[in-house]
Amino acid sequence: MYELDCSTVFPGCERVIRADSPAGVIRRAVAQANALGIERVTPSMLDSMREKMIERPETADRAA
């Protein structure tokens, strides 16, 4: 499980984005940026997303 605290990349965002892969987190983060009114996600924003993304271990309740 991968996770990104959206506020570390997009000021004012209050979501924590989770997905099974880094690509999934990036896709969801770009969609969230668009929802926040950010029309163009720059390469530096993508780099920031990759740097600030963390990997979390799977939890038992998620596997159930």
Q: What is the pTM of this model?
A: 0.84
Bridge-based pairing state of the strands 2-5 and 54-55: antiparallel
Kindly report, residue by residue over 46-58, the tens digit of the pLDDT: 999 999 999 998 7
Residues of the chain with pLDDT under 50: 64
pLDDT of residue 62: 54
pLDDT of residue 58: 76
Cα–Cα separations (whole angstroms), residue 54 to 18, 34, 42 = 10, 22, 20
Q: Where are the domains of the chain?
A: 2-58
Q: Are 14 and 32 in contact (CB under 8 A)?
A: no
Q: Are 40 and 63 in contact (CB under 8 A)?
A: no
Q: How many CB atoms lie within 10 A of CB 55?
A: 8
